[in-house]
Structure 1
Amino acid sequence: MTPLIPLGALPAGIVMLVAGLIKRGSANAFKSIPCSPIAGLKGGERLFITGKATAPVHTRAPVSGDSCVFYTEAVDRTYRRHQIGSSLNERHTERVNTRAYGGFFVRDGSGTALVVPHYDVLDLTKPATVKDDSLSDMSGSTRRTERLILEGDAVTVLGTPRNLGDFMRYLRANSGLDMPAPFVEQLLKMEKEEAGASLQCFFGQGVERVSDVEHTAYVAGTANSAAFLLKLGAILAASGLAFLLYILKSAAPSQDF
């Protein structure tokens, strides 16, 4: 066995320890953030909401073809380089595109809030749908990874809500925002109605996390994930360090007395 394999446990363990510490910090912070009934939302206050996702307009997911209220898609492309007359066969993969499409309402029995996430805030736990042709021998092959939020799914949102008027101004200033046109038309109508004035919205920098589990499970799951990373990271780091010390000791010149 090449010594690089056990030695690799040391940096891998350190990375896991750092990730675990960051996640544990998030878990501790989450415990101090209130989870508010939607009817009690106040603009400008950082909090959690939790409820069921629903949307008046559904969309068709690009990979699975399933009907959903929201989806994300990540595209990774694999490049290969073959050198004629040599056994050189290089392969590397890079992410070439990400997309978050749609928006939805969250209802909790007390009220309704609008949520329009962007890709970087999503913390979805359900299995992804993957379409992968990167195992072929052709350079430029792709792997498409899709995650969905379906009608009626439990969701938890962390952020700072603002009113519908603020969201519509944001929407007009960001023409590239990916939402179904019929949904936008409904929001334009709501903006002119009295009921729309009370709708609180999570969007842009005002949405920090969106998960597809209810609030209690999300906070507990974050803490459990942190504990797992810290435990496994400590084991790997200790194993890698022990092997490194063994290698150094074996390489040291012996001294005869």
Structure 2
Amino acid sequence: MPADRYVSPAGPSRHEVGVKRSRFIACILPVEDEGQARVRLSDLRHEFHDARHCCNAYLLGAGRDSAHSSDDGEPAGTAGAPIMQALSNHVTATGQADLSNVLAVVVRYFGGVKLGAGGLTRAYGGAVTQALRLTPMLLHEQRALLDVHLPPADAGRLEAVLRGTLEVLDTVWDDPAGPTVHVACPADTTTTIGTIAALTSGVGRVDSAGTRWVSHALSPAEPSNGGDMPSRLL
């Protein structure tokens, strides 16, 4: 997966499915690093202290360079692995399997009926798959930054023109020499610099300002239920 873009949950969400009287509560959380993932998992273990299992998996980094999963007492390979597979294979609204910086925890309340290895695998993976379909997402892209310095005499009009065409992050107005408009653009800034020159009739002075991660909201995929797994949002 490219290391200059990824998708993560916009915030925590929960989704529950029932299978043969067992409850599977899938909790999806955004996390920035392993330490935060451990804290979030600990919080859920405390909240669901009476549950038999809190199986989990996480993916971290723009390139998914860190991953971990746990069966938490379920038979080996029946919980952590299918949760991880659901995270790794989830296709977001970008059309790509590009989800990262995400923790999925599936809390199980045993209903008295054993599901077998296949049933557990389908239940854990299915709960996460359904939860992800209902979770709002953010697209994160590493963008080049340009500072556009405008002359004070026509700054208001030019700033509005730039906002109407380019990805303007913000504008700083506290310099008496004129405002600075912060613009995000692709790594190859040539086209954007040319556009700025045209929009400002050459009076906008442009400086490179490094790079920055920029986030945009994505729409979640349509929910889908399957088989004998009635579900509900929590």
Question: Do the two structures share a fold, i.e. TM-score over 0.5?
Answer: no
TM-score (norm 1): 0.22
More helix by share: 1
TM-score (norm 2): 0.23
